[in-house]
Chain A
C-alpha cells in the first residue's frame, strides 16, 4: 500500500503543483477583497470562469483567422492573458460598483446575498452566450501546447515511477508564479500597494490620510479579478474543456485555500493554494488505496470542505494570519 503511495508521488506532486498554482492565484483574489472589505466575494469563482471563457473565445477567433499557427504559442498566450485580464478586471470593478458599493454600510448578510446573485447571473449569461454561439455550453478550446514531457523520477530514487505531463504544466506553473511575484511586488513596493494595505488596515484613517478609498477598492477589485480571469485562461489551456459551472466548486476550494493561509494575507493565500492542490491530488490518487476501497477518488471534493471546517474550528486565523480581536 505504502509502495503505491511512494511510486505515484512524483506524478501527484506534478499534478498537485499545477492545480495548486491555479488555486493559489484565485485565492489571492478572495483574500485581497476580504482584506479590504471583509466581504466574501462569492462571484470571484465566476470571474475566473468568465476569464476561461473569454480566453477560449479569443483563442477560437485566432484559430479561425489562422493566427494560431502563424504566431509562436507563447506570444499568443501572452496576448490572450493580457486581453482577458483587462476585460475581467473591468468586470470585477463593475460588479463592485453596481452590487457592492451601494451596500457597503448594509448588514453583511445582504451583501453576501447580492454576491450569490451576481454569481448566478454570470453563470447563466455565460451559458447563454456559449450556447447561442456554439450550440453547447461545454466548450473545448484549441490546444496551444501539445508537447509531452517526462520527469525521470525513477533515476532520482528507484522507488519512484516516472511522472508524465503535458508541456502546458510548465507554462501554467511559471505564469502563475510570475503573476504572484508581480502581485507581491505591487502590493508591497508601490504607492498603490501601500494605499491598498492602508485601506485594509483602517478605512477611515486611510481616508483622513487623503487616500481615495473608493478608488483603492476599485483598484483592488480590478487586480483581484484580472488575476482571476488570467487564471481562468491558464485553466482552459491546461485542462482544455470548460463549462459555466466550473467556477463554483473551484471558487470554494480557492476560498478554503485563502482561509487556510489566513484570510487577508496574500502570501498565506499562495501557500494555502499550493497545500490544497497537493492534498487534493494526493487524495484523488491514494484515497481508495489507503481506505481499502471504502472511499474512492470521488470523495476528493469532500476533502477540501473538511479541511475548511477543521481550520475554521481549530485555527480560524489560518496558518499565517493574525488572530482577529473583536472590537466592541
Chain B
C-alpha cells in the first residue's frame, strides 16, 4: 500500500488520469442525481486534491478555474436545488475573501483582531444605505436609491470606507500591546454594532434594529443580478482577485515586514521597520477585503440588519483562519470552505436527519441538542483542539524556498549591471 502511494506520487500521468476520472464521476453524479449534496461536496473536494497533485502551478490554476467556473455550475444546473448549491458556493466565496483579509491581520502581522466583522458591517451598510431611499434622509443632494450599476463603484467605496475605519481604529489602538489589542478590537466590533443598531435617531441613517430592506440589486449591461448563480460569478471573480493580491502582498516588502513584526516586534524595529505604520497597513488592507465582501453580502441578501454582525461572526472567521493555518493562503481558503459548508450544509442536513429520526421514534433527541444550535460548541471545541494540538492548522504556512546559487547569480548580475551603469555615467 505504502509503495503504491509513493509510486503514485511520482507518476504524474496516473495522477492526472485518476483525478480526471474522479472529477468526471462526481460531476456526472451531480448532473444526473436529483438531489445529491454528497456529489456537490465531493466535486468541491476535487480542488483540494488538485492542490496536492504533482503538477505545474499554472496548470493547477487553469484546471481549478475550469472546474469552479464551468464544471460546477453546469453540472449543478440540472437539479432542483441548483440555486441552493450556488448560494452555498457564493457564501463560501464571500467567507474565503474575508478570511483571507483576516489572515493578513492575524496570520501575517500577528495582531489578534476580534472585531473583524465590524468592517464587514461598514461595507454592507455603505451599500445598503445608498442603494435604498435611506440615504435621502440625510444626503443634501442626489436622488436615492442609486441605480444597480453603482454596485461596481461601491465595491471600491466599501473597500475604502472599511480601510478608513481600520486606520481610525488602528491609530489609537496599535500603540497598545498585543493582548490588549484583542479586547479593544472586540469592544470596537460591539461599538459598531450598537451604533448601527441605534442610528435611527435623531436622523434615520441605518433604520436601527429594523434593518435596511429591499436593497437595489446590482446590474451589469442592463441585467439585474438577482439569483445566486449570477452572484456566484461576481464572487468568483473577486475571490480570484483577492487571492492574487494576497499572494503578491505576502512576498512583497510590506509582507516580509508583517512577518518580521509577528515574529519579534523589537527585532523588527531594530531592523528599521516602522512598527505602527506596518501594523496600520495590515489593519487597513485586511479591513478593506472585509468591506468589499460586505458590499457583496448586502447586495446578495438585499437586506442588512445589525444581528448579522455579532461576535459569533467574528469568531467564525477566526476559526476559519486558525483551522486552515495562520498565514497560509491555501490553508485559509480550505478553512473558510470547511467552516462555511459545515455551517450551511452539514449542520442543517444533520438536523433534518435527526428530526426525521426523532419523528420516526428511533431515538428521542431533545430540541436543544439540534446541531444547528451547537455552533458555539463546535467552534469552541475546534478552537481549543487546534490551538492545543495543531496550532499550525490543516495546511501549515510555508516560507518560499530560494535557491541560494540562483540568488547569488542574480545579485552578481545586477551588481555588474549597476557597476557598468555607474561607469557609463562616469
Is A208 an interface position by the 8 A CB rule?
Answer: no
Residues of chain A within 8 A (CB-CB) of B182 are: 40, 112
Which of A110, A127, A302 is within 8 Å of B391, CB to CB? Answer: A110
A304 to chain B, nearest CB (A): 8
B198 in contact with A117 (CB, 8 Å): no
Residues of A within 8 A of B388 (CB): 99, 102-103, 114
In the complex, chain B residues whose CB is within 8 Å of the CB of A204: none
CB of A125, distance to nearest CB on chain B (Å): 7
**B198-A121 in contact (CB<8A):** no
B272 at the interface (CB under 8 A from A): no
- B337 interface residue (CB < 8 Å to A): no
Please tell me if the beta carbons of A121 and B381 are within 8 angstroms of each other in the complex: yes
The answer for the CA separation of A123 and B227 in the assembled complex, in Å, is 37
- Closest B residue to A307 by beta carbon equals B187
Give the complex CA separation of A326 and B175 in angstroms: 13
Known contacts A120-B380, A248-B311; A312/B198 CB under 8 A: no
Give bound CA distance, A316 to B177, whole Å: 9
- Residue B369, interface by CB 8 Å: yes
Q: How far is the CB of B114 from chain A (nearest CB, A)?
A: 8
Residues of chain B contacted by A99 (CB below 8 angstroms): 384, 388
Determine if B112 and A121 form an interchain contact, defined as CB atoms under 8 angstroms apart: no
| Complex-state Cα separation, A304 to B183, whole angstroms | 12
**B366 contacts chain A at the CB level, 8 A cutoff:** yes
Are A131 and B190 in touch, CB under 8 angstroms?
no
B391 to chain A, nearest CB (A): 5
A104 to B183, CA, bound (A): 20
Q: Are A125 and B194 in contact (CB under 8 A)?
A: no
B172 engages A313 (CB within 8 Å):
yes
Q: Indicate if A4 sits at the interface (CB-CB under 8 A).
A: no
B191 sits at the interface (CB 8 A): yes
B183 contacts A40, CB within 8 Å?
Answer: yes
Complex alpha-carbon distance, A131 and B175, angstroms: 43
Is B4 part of the contact surface with A, judged by Cβ < 8 Å? no
- Residues of A108-162 contacting chain B, CB below 8 A: 108-114, 116-125, 127-128, 131-132, 137
Stretch at the interface among A10-18, A58-66, A165-173, A292-300: A292-300
| Interface residues of A, count at CB 8 A | 53
A contact residues around B202 at 8 Å (CB): 293-294
For the complex, is A252 an interface residue (Cβ under 8 Å from B)?
yes
- Could you mark each residue 85-110 of chain A with 1 if its beta carbon is under 8 Å from any beta carbon of chain B, else 0? 00000000000000100110011111
- Which residue, of B175, B187, B191, B388, has the highest number of chain A Cβ atoms within 10 A? B187
Among candidates A114, A116, A128, A304, residue contacting B377 with C-beta atoms closer than 8 Å: A128
Task: Determine if B190 and A301 form an interchain contact, defined as CB atoms under 8 angstroms apart.
Answer: yes
Asked whether B176 lies within 8 Å of A312 as measured between CB atoms, the reply is: yes
Contact A120:B190 (CB < 8 A) given known A128-B368, A298-B197 = no
Mark interface residues in B222-238 (1 if CB within 8 Å of A CB, else 0): 00000000000000000
Chain B residue numbers with a CB within 8 Å of A301 are 190, 194
Give B249-281 interface residues, CB cut-off 8 Å to A. Answer: 266
Q: Is A74 an interface residue (CB 8 A)?
A: no
Main secondary structure of the interface of A (DSSP, over half): helix
Are B266 and A252 touching (Cβ within 8 A)? no
Q: CA separation between A99 and B384, bound complex, in Å?
A: 7
Q: Assuming A102-B388, A305-B190, A313-B172, is B198 touching A116 (CB within 8 A)?
A: no
What A residues does B194 contact at CB under 8 A? 298-299, 301-302
CB pair A109–B106 under 8 Å, yes or no, is yes
* A108 vs B387: C-alpha distance when bound (angstroms): 11
Q: CB distance B112 to A305 under 8 Å? A: no
Q: Count chain B residues whose beta carbon lies closer than 8 angstroms to a beta carbon of A.
A: 49
B382 CB–A CB distance under 8 Å: yes
A125 contact from B179, B201, B377, B383, Cβ within 8 A: B377
CB-nearest residue of chain B relative to A128? Answer: B368
Cβ of A298 and Cβ of B377 under 8 Å apart?
no
| Interchain CB contact under 8 A, B366 and A302 | no
Indicate if A185 sits at the interface (CB-CB under 8 A).
Answer: no
Q: Which residues of B contact A309 (CB under 8 A)?
A: 172-173, 184, 187-188
Q: How many angstroms between the C-alpha atoms of A137 and B381 in the bound complex?
A: 21
Q: For the complex, is A308 an interface residue (Cβ under 8 Å from B)?
A: yes
CB-based contact A132/B368 at 8 Å:
yes
In whole angstroms, what is the CA distance A137 to B376 when docked? 15
Instruction: Report the bound CA distance from A257 to B157 in whole Å.
Output: 38
Is B367 an interface residue when CB atoms closer than 8 A count as contact?
Answer: yes
Cβ of B379 within 8 Å of any chain A Cβ, yes or no, is: yes
Chain A's closest residue to B263 (CB) is A107
- Contact of A39 with B by CB under 8 A: yes
Residue B180 CB within 8 A of the other chain: yes
B376 A121 Cβ-Cβ under 8 A: yes
Q: Are A117 and B384 in contact (CB under 8 A)?
A: yes
**Contact of B328 with A by CB under 8 A:** no
Distance between Cα atoms of A137 and B373 in the complex (Å): 12
As a 0/1 sequence over residues 356 to 367 of chain B, the CB contacts with chain A under 8 angstroms (1 = contact) are 000000000011
Nearest 9 interchain pairs by C-beta: A117-B383, A120-B380, A131-B368, A121-B380, A305-B187, A124-B377, A117-B384, A124-B376, A114-B387
7 contacts between A and B (CB under 8 A): A108-B179, A112-B179, A114-B383, A298-B198, A301-B194, A305-B187, A313-B176
- Residues of A in contact with B (beta carbons under 8 Å apart): 38-40, 99, 102-103, 106-114, 116-125, 127-128, 131-132, 137, 248-249, 252, 255, 259, 293-296, 298-299, 301-302, 304-306, 308-309, 312-313, 316, 326, 328
Beyond A132-B369, A302-B194, A312-B173, 9 additional contacts (C-beta under 8 Å) are: A39-B179, A106-B391, A112-B179, A113-B318, A116-B315, A116-B318, A305-B191, A309-B188, A312-B176
